[in-house]
Amino acid sequence: MNISRINIGNGIYLNKVITDKFKSNFISINLIRPLDRSEVTKNSLLSYVLGRGTSSLPSKAVLERKLEELYGAHLSVNINKRGERQILRVSMEWADSRFTKDDTYEKSVLEVFRDIMFYPDLKDGLFGESIVEGEKKNLINRIEAKVNDKRTLALNRCIEEMCKGETFSIYQLGYVEDVKSITNTSLTDHYRGILQNSHMEIVYVGVENPSIREDLIPQEYLNRKDVLIVPREIIPKDNFTKNHIVEREDITQGKLVVGYRSNIPYEDGLYSALLLGNEILGGGPNSKLFKDVREKNSLAYYVGTNLIKHKSIILLDAGIDINNYQKTMGLINEMFEDMKNGNFSDDDIEIAKKAIKTSSQSIIDSPHLMGEFTLGKVISKDNRSLEEMIEDIEKVSKEDIIKAMNTVTLDTIYFMTSKEVEQGETN
């Protein structure tokens, strides 16, 4: 995978993965913002409003009709969270002209893509009031919907409590109380402001196309001033926090989320060992947690762990019988001690390496995944190729894994239990 990166304007970079492997091409423009409570909700709402049309395609229906004419080009505008960054993204995937026999339509595709970000549908210089108010309702509904998915709610609540005082605790979609105060004027002002000071990363995956550089960014944005620099997240060297939170909801299945911290940043050579340790512990159906907690002892409906790269946090996520809380936590603690003491086999290591390798190699099968991988490399300033990353995983020894897992400490236990459970039964 050959990736090139060039600076095309102040704080604007073009990353190209040139390949003829796919029948479609993919492009995204990513506005990278600090994860900040003062703007997180505006950025989220903006992702809804921008998708409603452009100056030349002034409605959702007209926009969708145009995309159908462009051989079913797929457009997406969304918001996501990478560590302590919030990223506003416009992306497009479209059929390559080798297969459409139409050399002119790709220019139309890129115009639509450009206009979504830079020439949206404005009325008298502002986003339409009715559009903004309608999308505010949609955003509120989506934020409030998180309480209906108890598993996701438990994960979010654990992060909020675990990272209280850290910007990582901020919810990426924003907050209902902040949505209500946004007007079409304030949203338009914010939109114009972030175009002027956001770090921008453009990622393109597909066949070589000169228009990717020439036609994407309007001239007035190439010489911007005062572009924001989003700093690297801080990884605490020590962890002295121990939180235990029990909350009651109208549920019958308990939701257990346990947060652990490591002081190994992703730039560290030992991070690959932490990644493997997480995979052995709870990465899939061959993991210790799955086999012992779920299969052998029948203590969990689901159980697994996830390593959050930019914060070096491991989140354990389990659905359990409420009455089995103490027994489950006891076994989980044993599993962690096993990892720290090296009570896992060479077969466990090889299975984990194969799982990570297979997952990594699947990246090259999708232009979208290749785009995600490229953006991730840029954000983390990782100059390794995919092959080099896999080689680093292969080199990890059992001693490396033991060393990495001994940096992992318990921070927060969050348990969502039933309203009918007596106080103290889950403590």
Contact residues for 217 (Cβ-Cβ < 8 A; gap 6+) = 8, 9, 12, 114, 118, 200, 202
Average pLDDT over residues 349-364: 96
Cα–Cα distance, 32 to 192 (Å, whole number) = 15
Average pLDDT over residues 382-400: 96
Structure tokens at 152: 């996701």
Average pLDDT over residues 20-31: 96
Q: Which CATH number fits domain 243-418: 3.30.830.10, 1.20.210.10, 3.90.79.10, 3.30.70.1380?
A: 3.30.830.10
> Of all helices (H) and strands (E), which one includes residue 124?
none
Average pLDDT over residues 278-304: 96
pLDDT of residue 42: 98
pLDDT classification of 1: cutoffs 50, 70, 90: low
Q: How many residues does the chain have?
A: 427
For residues 238, 244, 249, 251, the Cα torsion angle rounded to the nearest 10 degrees is 90
Per DSSP, the residues of 286-333 read TSHIIIIIIIIT---SEEEEEEEGGGTEEEEEEEEEGGGHHHHHHHHH
With 90 as the cut, is the pLDDT of residue 242 above it?
A: no
73-108 pLDDT, tens digit per residue, is 999 999 999 999 999 999 999 999 888 877 788 889
> Of all helices (H) and strands (E), which one includes residue 8?
strand 3-9
pLDDT of residue 419: 84
Q: Report helix, strand or coil for 7.
A: strand
pLDDT of residue 33: 97
With 90 as the cut, is the pLDDT of residue 238 above it?
A: no
- Are 249 and 416 in contact by the 8 Å Cβ rule? The answer is yes
pLDDT of residue 100: 83
Average pLDDT over residues 372-378: 95
- Are 278 and 336 in contact by the 8 Å Cβ rule? The answer is no
pLDDT of residue 255: 98
120-142 pLDDT, tens digit per residue, is 999 999 999 999 999 999 999 99
With 80 as the cut, is the pLDDT of residue 268 above it?
A: yes
Amino acid identity at 38:
S
CB atoms within 10 A of CB 38: 8
pLDDT of residue 418: 93
Out of 146-150, 196-200, 222-226, the most confident range is 196-200
pLDDT of residue 153: 95
Contact residues for 65 (Cβ-Cβ < 8 A; gap 6+) = none
With 70 as the cut, is the pLDDT of residue 425 above it?
A: no
Structure tokens at 172: 């990426």
- Are 275 and 356 in contact by the 8 Å Cβ rule? The answer is yes
- For the chain, what are the domain ranges? 3-221, 243-418
pLDDT of residue 240: 66
Taking each helix axis from N to C end, the angle separating 40-50 and 129-145, rounded to the nearest 10 degrees, works out to 120
pLDDT of residue 394: 97
The mean pLDDT of the chain is: 94
Q: In what order do the strands lie in the sheet with 74-82?
A: 3-9, 12-18, 199-206, 24-34, 85-95, 74-82
Q: Where are the alpha helices (DSSP H) in 91-162?
A: 97-100, 105-118, 129-145, 150-162
Amino acid identity at 286:
N
**Which burial class, exposed, middle or buried, applies to 273 when counting CB atoms under 10 A from its CB (0-12, 13-18, 19+)?**
buried
Instruction: Give the residue carrying structure tokens 């002119």.
Output: 104
Q: What is Dmax (Cα atoms) for the chain?
A: 70
Per DSSP, the residues of 377-388 read HHHHT----HHH
pTM of the model: 0.92
pLDDT classification of 183: cutoffs 50, 70, 90: very high
pLDDT of residue 215: 77
Q: Would you say domain 3-221 falls under CATH 3.40.50.2300?
A: no
Cα–Cα distance, 100 to 274 (Å, whole number) = 46
Taking each helix axis from N to C end, the angle separating 398-405 and 271-282, rounded to the nearest 10 degrees, works out to 90
**Which burial class, exposed, middle or buried, applies to 4 when counting CB atoms under 10 A from its CB (0-12, 13-18, 19+)?**
exposed
Cα–Cα distance, 77 to 58 (Å, whole number) = 16
pLDDT classification of 421: cutoffs 50, 70, 90: low
With 60 as the cut, is the pLDDT of residue 324 above it?
A: yes
Per DSSP, the residues of 72-103 read S-EEEEEEEEETTEEEEEEEEEEE-HHHH--S
pLDDT of residue 104: 83
With 70 as the cut, is the pLDDT of residue 424 above it?
A: no
Share of the chain above pLDDT 90, in %: 86
